[in-house]
Each structure stands twice: as structure tokens, then as C-alpha cells.
């Protein structure tokens, strides 16, 4: 049976269709917005996965290059592993949906969003988020709280829902809001130093539109949705829960009230040993139940401490930041480095500068094809004192790197003002909460140390939240540490400058955030950010005047685009000659911009001189200092510019009669010549006689 439904968002139709494609999926939804089309398939396992203590939700976002009429580049002509952008989109779909599943649900759920057609005016990631929610609502999976998602732009001071490609180019804000009809579930934003009040208004503006979409999904679910399956929800055995709590509650409480992290962890390890000694033999098959009770007890104690006793696990005030320190120039041979420390969270970022052509080429379905600024984030196991195999970057590392990149991107100087490719790598040395925002701070330090003229320094902070069960009581925490993130309800990351916000990322573990919570978190984050920036400015307040002596030197020149072929030469002969003689790298753009990357100023200037020579146009009437390259019985050939050679006829060699060319010049001589003519075939005629006469006339004029 084929079912079709539609609504209008921002003046464009969103159309859903299911029952026609993918007949064996629990729900196979084809959803379109304009010419952007995504297939969303949602499925669930028949029974819970045994032996796990988490909800196994898997979100896959698959980009098909045929969706934009591309054939994959490279040797293997098919899509490979997901792009970073696809991974980020999958994370964005996961974050608002996961908290809305029933507690104790342990069945595997997989949602696959396959992008099959893309119109750049209508973003596929926004459509996929709405499609994933709709597919879950229509399926038999026990998910009953739909979420709507929109993009919000800020164009000429006006908010725009789901801005098109041109509007996104002009927008000062790139905001994604995801919400139920009651509360905001997720916020993702990048902005050009957007003021706090404007950012808050933009979020609420998007929230109002999300409510309508969520309401529409709810109506579709009531009309077309399958009956929800009854599944077994995991709960710890009540008898075990009572016995463990009676035995260990006070011991756990004493451990959790220790303010120093290492001592707290050591105390909890001892408590767990005692619990194991007490119950391992009695309940050998219920280890997961015992661990669940311990976790819930820790969570209960920490949350009660914050909500009712008004104190934090480490003794700080709710608005207090941990101890801060900043340092630059920590690595002698890198182009720039900085270390930022906040409590037990510590990140070292390293800046590397390269030639423009060392930027990243992007082979994806988006509008972006390349970028010259890149940020990568590494989270090794030693940062939390653990041992695990070192693999490639995981989804979390890609997400945190992207967030830090987004926070700094509006502050990176233009290619014209700083003609380098820039790569930042943040190494997490120690982690106890919000390493992504410490990366923003460490990266700012490293950029300034490298001499990158960023618009302004940026910093970031993470805000936390603890709420009561009925959501009526809430406490917002500044600079959350790992424990508060683990047992809390929100991770609200805000990065920016003293002028405004450049990035936001919000995750929640509850059924959404109140408007007042969002507003308070944004404003409190600004106070903390200014405090952090003050410490960073005391370390380094402006970019170094020159790049490192170990960094490449970049020179730029603009030539007539019509002369690009002369600089390159037939088969690249000319440009390769310049590179061979100077050892530089050369990048030439279609608009005539030329970037020369050299190890030192001498090689760079020599290459520029050669490029200018090949690009310079020979003009009739101008005088050049040329070099004799060849002699014949009828004249001398003279090179006046690189790749530009002309003939001085014997009759034009001197003011007096010349019998033999060798009487006047020899190969290798430098002589002044005047261009008298360029014929239809491009041959240049020169005159030494005219150049001498003109020089004598000028000399006589000066003597008078």
C-alpha cells in the first residue's frame, strides 16, 4: 500500500511516501524537499542484545555521488568509507533521537539515511533529520515523540528558515535547531561573532518552526503509523538493587563527596571491590545488575548533591571555572604551538603552514570542493589514563575536530591577507571534561604563536545541567568536568570571541531544554569565555610579527590571466624551469593570482622576478636592458624578458655605420634596446641605435 503525505516548510513542499519502496524494512520512507530526496530505512531486532548496558542505536548517513551527478574520483570508482561530513550528519541525527527512546530499551535499532538526489538549495542533512524521526514514528519501533528540524540563517539582519544556497552564502549564521513540540533537543551553530541575544532569538525562531514540523509528524503517525511492538525493557533486579544499596550507599556517598578526582576514583575502586566481594558469589549471573545499581546510586548522589545541597562534586561554585593556564612556543621546530589547561583538562595544539595547493580537496555531495583551513583532533587513551589499541579517528574525534574548526573558521584571515594553507592538530593530553572547547583555546594560542593574523582570539566553555525528574527544578553549571557530564543532563558547548559567538553544540540526555535554560547557558558561557580570554591574552595577545623561520615563505603576485599560458609554457616547460632554478612551489589560479612558496626570501624573490618577466607584456616604444643570446651576419638576437627575444638588425646596432656585428656586441653582453615593432606573427624588432639616441636626448635635457 502506497501512502503519501505532505506539508510546507519555508514555502517549499516536504513530501513523504512509504509502502512502495523497500518492502521488507520495518519502515522504508522516501522523503523529498524540492529536488532533494532521501531514502530512510528504520529497523529493529526481534529481541534485546544480551550483556550490554546501553541502547544500541546505529545511525548511518550514506552519501551517493550520483545524487549530484558525479562519478567518484580516484582509481576505485565507487563510494568508500563515509566522508567526515557524512559522519557529522549521522552524529547530528543520533543526538536528538537517542534520549527519546524508552529507558531500558536494549533492542538494536538501525536507521539508514541514503542521499539519492541533492538540490543545493535544500540541505540533505536537515531533510535526513526530519526523515529519521518520521520513519521511527511510522515504524513499529517504540518511539513516539517526533522531532522537527530546521536550519536558520541570518541574512541582512533577518532570520531565514532553511535558507537557500545564495542566502547561506550571505548569512552570518549557520544554525540547526532540532526540537519536539515542547522543548529544544539539539542545537548546532556556526556564526560570524553573533551576539548572545541574537543567537538566542535565532534558536527560539527555529524552535517555533520545529514545533509545527513535530506536530505534523505526530498527525502522520496517528494516521499511518504501525502499532508499536511490546518489548522487554531492562531493569535491575529489585532484590539485588535493595541489597546493594543497603550495603554500599554510604560508602558510595563518602567516595563521591571526595573533591579530588584521583582520590575519588581510588575510593570508588575500593568500594566496587567490597561490593564484588559481598555479592559475586551470591549473584554470579547478575554482574550487570550490580553494576547498574552502582551507577544509578552514584548518579543519584551526585544529582542530589547539586540540586538539593547546592554544591558540586569538586567543591566549586556553580559559575566557577577551574584553574586556567596558557603557554605558547612549547615545540621548537613546529610553526606554532600552544598548550591550554583547565583543571585536569589539557590540550596541546600545533599549527602547520603550507602552500595554498596543500589545502584539502573534497570529493563529496556538498557545495564545498576544497578548503585551506583544517582542524584535526586526537583523543588518545592515555588522556584518561586508560589502555586501548590506537586506531584511526573515531566519530567523536571527527566531531570534536569539526566543532573546533567551526569555532575558528570565521576568524581565519582571507587568502589574500595570509596566503597559506593552515592545519591545526589538537592533541588531548589530559581529559576531564570539554576537551573540544579546550581545543578552541589551544588552537587560538597556536595560531597566534605561528603569526597567523586571526581577526580576534577565541575561547570556548561547556555548560552543564542537572534537573529534577519532573524537569521543574534545574541547576546550570559552568565548566562541567567529566563526572558532571556523565551524570548530568546537558553538554552545552559555546565558543566565540569577546564580540560574539562563533560556534555552539548542544547535547541533552533528557526530553529537551527549556527556553530559560538555553538563555542562561548562553549568557553564563559568555562570562566564562571572557574570563578565559583574559588568561589567554596575558600569555599572548596578538599574532607574532613574522612566521616561524621553519615555516615556508609565501609570495604573491597578480598577472594578466591571458599571460598564464606564457608563465606555464608549452607542456609546462617554462614553469618547470622556474621551479628547477629556484626550488619553489608555484600555484596559479584562473584569475591570475600566483602564489610562490619558498624556503627562503632569496629563492622566492628570484621566482617572482622570473614570473613577472614571463608575464610582462612587451610594448612598442619601451626601452629594455637585454642580453645578447646569438649573433648572425645580419644582426644580434637579444633577450629582453624571460621567454621574450627580439632581433637588432645590423643597421640598428649603432648610430654610426656598422660593418660587422661582432665589432659592436658579443654573446652575453647586456645592452639597452628599444622595441620598434612587433609584427603580426609576434616577432619583436629592436633598435640599439634608437635607445642610444633617446638616452642622449634625456641626458642633454637633464644637463640644461
Stated as kind and residue range, the H or E segment containing 620 is none
3-state secondary structure 407-432: HHHHHCCCCCCCCCEEEEEEEEEECC
Q: Please name the helix (run of DSSP H) or strand (run of DSSP E) that holds residue 203, with its range, or none.
A: helix 196-224
Give the whole-angstrom CA distance, residue 67 versus residue 453.
39
553-558 vs 585-588, strand pairing mode: unpaired
Residue 491, annotated ligand binder?
Answer: yes
User: How far from chain centre, in Å, is Cα 216?
Assistant: 33
* 229 contact partners, CB below 8 Å, separation of at least 6: 44, 140, 141, 142
Q: What are the respective helix, strand and coil percentages of the chain, to the nearest 5?
A: 35, 30, 35
Alpha-carbon distance 442 to 428, whole Å?
10
DSSP 518-546: HHHHHHHHHHHHHHHHHHHHHH--S--SS
Q: Degrees (nearest 5) of the Cα angle 119, 125, 129?
A: 130
- Contact at 8 Å (CB) between 630 and 656? no
Q: Cα(632)–Cα(174) distance, rounded to whole angstroms?
A: 69
For residue 560, give the C-alpha cell.
594578466
Half-sphere exposure of 263 (CA within 13 A, CB side): 7
Q: Which of 61, 203, 34 is nearest to 132 (CA)?
A: 61
State how far the Cα of 419 lies from the Cα of 620, in Å rounded to an integer.
Answer: 35
Q: d(Cα 295, Cα 206) in Å, to the nearest integer? A: 36
- Using CA of residue 382, residue 385, residue 390, residue 394, what is the dihedral sign? negative
Q: State how far the Cα of 615 lies from the Cα of 383, in Å rounded to an integer.
A: 54
Per-residue buried b or exposed e for 283-316, using 16+ beta carbons within 10 Å of the residue's own CB: beebeebbbbbbeebbebbbbebbeeeeebbbeb
For the beta carbon of residue 530, count every other beta carbon within 10 angstroms: 13
By CB atoms closer than 10 A (0-12, 13-18, 19+), residue 42 is: buried
Q: Is 470 annotated as a binding residue?
A: no
Helices (H) and strands (E) in the chain, counts: 15, 29
What is the spatial distance between Cα 178 and Cα 185, in angstroms, rounded to a whole number? 6
Q: Which parts are annotated binding residues for Mg(2+)? A: 485, 491
Q: Which parts are annotated binding residues? A: 485, 491
Amino acid at each position: 500500500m502506497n501512502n503519501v503525505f505532505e506539508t510546507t516548510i519555508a514555502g517549499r513542499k516536504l513530501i513523504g511516501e512509504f509502502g512502495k519502496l523497500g518492502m521488507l524494512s520495518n519502515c522504508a520512507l522516501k522523503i523529498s524537499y524540492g529536488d532533494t530526496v532521501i531514502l530512510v530505512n528504520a529497523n529493529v531486532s526481534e529481541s534485546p542484545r544480551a550483556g550490554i548496558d546501553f541502547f544500541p542505536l546505529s545511525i548511518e548517513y550514506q552519501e551517493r555521488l550520483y545524487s549530484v551527478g558525479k562519478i567518484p574520483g580516484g582509481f576505485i570508482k565507487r563510494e568508500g568509507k563515509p566522508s567526515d561530513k557524512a559522519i557529522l550528519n549521522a552524529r547530528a541525527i543520533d543526538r536528538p533521537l537517542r534520549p527519546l527512546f524508552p529507558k531500558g530499551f536494549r533492542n538494536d535499532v538501525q536507521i539508514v539515511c541514503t542521499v539519492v538526489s541533492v538540490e543545493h538549495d535544500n540541505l540533505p542533512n536537515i531533510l535526513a533529520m526530519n526523515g529519521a524521526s518520521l520513519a521511527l514514528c511510522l515504524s513499529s519501533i517504540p518511539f513516539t515523540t517526533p522531532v522537527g528540524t530546521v536550519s536558520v540563517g541570518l541574512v541582512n539582519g533577518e532570520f531565514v528558515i532553511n535558507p537557500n544556497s545564495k542566502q547561506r552564502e550571505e548569512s552570518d549564521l549557520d544554525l540547526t535547531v532540532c526540537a519536539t513540540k515542547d522543548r529544544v533537543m539539539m542545537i548546532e551553530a556556526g556564526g560570524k561573532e553573533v551576539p548572545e541575544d541574537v543567537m538566542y532569538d535565532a534558536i527560539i525562531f527555529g524552535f517555533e518552526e520545529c514545533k509545527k514540523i513535530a506536530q505534523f509528524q505526530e498527525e502522520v503517525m496517528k494516521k499511518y503509523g504501525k502499532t508499536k511492538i511490546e518489548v522487554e525493557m531492562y531493569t535491575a533486579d529489585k532484590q539485588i538493587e535493595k541489597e546493594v544499596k543497603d550495603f554500599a550507599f554510604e560508602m558510595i556517598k563518602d567516595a563521591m563527596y571526595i573533591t579530588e578526582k584521583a582520590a575519588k576514583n581510588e575510593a570508588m575502586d575500593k568500594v566496587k571491590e567490597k561490593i564484588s566481594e559481598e555479592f559475586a558469589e551470591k549473584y554470579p549471573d547478575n554482574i550487570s545488575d550490580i553494576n547498574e545499581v552502582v551507577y544509578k546510586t552514584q548518579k543519584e548522589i551526585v544529582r542530589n548533591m547539586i540540586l538539593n545541597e547546592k554544591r558540586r562534586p569538586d567543591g566549586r561554585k556553580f559559575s566557577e571555572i577551574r584553574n586556567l593556564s596558557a603557554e605558547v612556543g612549547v615545540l621548537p621546530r613546529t610553526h606554532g604551538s600552544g598548550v591550554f589547561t583547565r583543571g585536569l583538562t589539557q590540550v596541546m595544539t600545533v599549527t602547520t603552514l603550507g602552500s595554498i595547493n596543500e589545502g584539502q580537496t573534497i570529493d563529496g555531495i556538498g557545495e564545498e570542493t576544497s578548503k585551506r583551513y583544517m582542524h584535526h583532533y586526537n583523543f588518545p587513551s592515555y588522556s584518561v589514563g586508560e589502555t586501548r589499541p590506537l586506531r584511526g579517528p573515531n566519530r567523536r574525534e571527527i566531531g570534536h575536530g569539526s566543532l573546533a574548526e567551526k569555532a575558528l573558521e570565521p576568524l581565519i584571515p582571507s587568502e589574500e591577507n595570509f596566503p597559506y594553507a593552515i592545519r591545526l592538530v589538537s592533541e588531548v593530553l589530559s581529559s576531564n571534561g570539554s576537551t573540544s572547547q579546550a581545543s578552541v583555546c589551544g588552537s587560538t594560542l597556536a595560531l597566534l604563536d605561528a603569526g597567523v593574523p586571526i581577526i580576534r582570539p577565541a575561547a570556548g566553555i561547556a555548560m552543564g545541567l542537572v534537573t529534577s525528574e519532573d524537569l521543574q527544578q534545574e541547576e546550570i553549571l559552568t565548566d562541567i568536568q567529566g563526572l558532571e557530564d556523565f551524570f548530568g543532563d546537558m553538554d552545552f558547548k559555546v565558543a566565540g570571541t569577546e564580540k560574539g559567538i562563533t560556534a555552539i553544540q548542544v547535547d541533552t540526555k533528557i526530553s529537551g531544554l527549556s527556553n530559560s535554560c538555553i538563555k542562561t547557558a548562553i549568557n553564563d558561557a559568555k562570562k566564562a569565555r571572557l574570563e578565559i580570554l583574559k588568561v589567554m591574552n596575558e600569555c599572548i595577545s596578538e599574532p607574532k610579527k613574522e612566521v616561524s623561520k621553519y615555516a615556508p615563505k609565501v609570495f604573491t603576485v597578480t598577472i594578466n590571466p591571458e599571460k598564464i599560458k606564457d608563465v606555464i609554457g608549452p607542456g609546462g616547460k617554462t614553469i618547470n624551469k622556474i621551479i628547477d632554478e629556484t626550488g619553489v612551489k608555484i600555484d596559479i589560479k584562473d584569475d591570475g593570482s600566483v602564489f610562490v612558496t619558498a624556503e627562503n626570501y632569496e629563492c622566492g624573490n628570484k621566482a617572482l622576478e622570473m614570473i613577472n618577466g614571463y608575464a610582462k607584456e612587451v610594448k612598442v616604444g619601451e626601452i629594455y636592458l637585454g642580453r645578447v643570446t646569438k649573433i648572425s651576419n645580419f644582426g644580434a638576437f637579444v633577450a629582453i624578458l624571460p621567454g621574450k627575444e627580439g632581433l637588432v638588425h645590423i643597421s640598428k646596432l649603432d648610430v654610426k655605420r656598422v660593418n660587422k656585428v661582432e665589432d659592436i656586441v658579443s654573446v652575453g653582453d647586456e645592452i639597452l634596446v628599444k622595441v620598434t615593432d612587433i609584427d603580426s606573427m609576434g616577432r619583436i624588432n629592436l633598435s640599439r641605435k634608437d635607445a642610444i639616441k633617446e638616452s642622449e636626448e634625456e641626458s642633454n635635457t637633464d644637463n640644461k
